[in-house]
Chains A and B, each alone.
Chain A
Amino acid sequence: QKEVEQDPGPLSVPEGAIVSLNCTYSNSAFQYFMWYRQYSRKGPELLMYTYSSGNKEDGRFTAQVDKSSKYISLFIRDSQPSDSATYLCAMKTSYDKVIFGPGTSLSVIP
């Protein structure tokens, strides 16, 4: 079993939809959780970073962490065509390296 699981998609939604992206993990020692966005032929860029259970909001993006269920989510409100990208979840323990999920490919259709 991989440490971090993520549905690869592809996920296709109409413009304006609410998007939900999810990851599950098996290592209960993970304490820091991140979401990266990767456009085609570019490197990933950090979108959200959190280290506690609960919600963290930044504009149209909300990151949610449920440590008891080992489950994290990224919600995108009012999705735009410019949100079309691959979204990678990532996480780490307090002392170890970052582990990335395989990414979910998202297309927002105008």
Chain B
Amino acid sequence: EADIYQTPRYLVIGTGKKITLECSQTMGHDKMYWYQQDPGMELHLIHYSYGVNSTEKGDLSSESTVSRIRTEHFPLTLESARPSHTSQYLCAGAAGDEQFFGPGTRLTVL
């Protein structure tokens, strides 16, 4: 089983708050991804990284930002949370084409 860790698992927060969703991995993957998933909908790629100091925006426009200062960590930050950010956020690391997913963070913005 791939070791992709995400914290917190669940988060309920008020509008306007700054939040950081943590993602860490122990497998040394260079490639890491953040996806947004709503019920019954496909995963939408919002950010990805191919290595330290490399970050790119994905296909889905997002007001979040990411950083990749260390291989192991790929945190996602929302500077000012809004109800439209309510969703499940999935982090993944990749070896070749195979992506290993974390358990996800379910975010609710009131």
Interface residues, chain A, with chain B CB atoms under 8 Å away: 2, 4, 8, 32, 34, 41-46, 49, 88, 92, 97-103, 105
B87 to chain A minimum Cβ distance, whole angstroms, is 14
Q: Are B42 and A4 in contact (CB under 8 A)?
A: yes
Additional pairs, 13, CB under 8 Å, beyond known A43-B103, A44-B90: A32-B97, A41-B104, A42-B103, A43-B92, A44-B99, A44-B101, A45-B100, A46-B100, A97-B59, A98-B45, A98-B97, A99-B42, A101-B42
A41–B104 alpha-carbon span in the complex (Å): 8
Q: Which residues of B contact A92 (CB under 8 A)?
A: 97
Q: Is the CB of B43 within 8 A of A100?
A: yes
Q: Are B101 and A97 in contact (CB under 8 A)?
A: no
Contact with A along B71-110 (1 / 0, CB 8 A): 0000000000000000000101000011111111010000
Given known contacts A32-B97, A49-B97, A92-B97, is B104 in contact with A102 (CB within 8 Å)?
A: no
| Chain A, residue nearest B38 (CB) | A102
Q: Please, how many angstroms separate the alpha-carbon atoms of A103 and B25 in the complex?
A: 26
Q: Which residues of B contact A88 (CB under 8 A)?
A: 42-43
**Chain B, Cβ-Cβ closest to A102:** B42
Q: Which of B40, B48, B58, B92: most chain A CB closer than 10 A? A: B40
Judged by a CB distance under 8 angstroms, whether B12 is at the interface is: no
User: Which A residues touch B100, using CB under 8 A?
Assistant: 45-46
Which residue on A lies nearest to B45, using beta carbons? A97
B4 CB–A CB distance under 8 Å: yes
B1-28 to A contact mask, C-beta < 8 Å, 1/0: 0001000000000000000000000000
Please give, as numbers and ranges, the residues of chain A lying within 8 Å of B58 by CB-CB distance: 97
- B44: shortest Cβ distance to chain A, in Å? 8
Chain B residues within an 8 Å CB radius of A34:
97-98
Pairs across A and B, CB under 8 Å, 10 listed: A32-B97, A41-B103, A41-B106, A42-B104, A45-B101, A88-B42, A97-B48, A97-B58, A98-B99, A103-B42
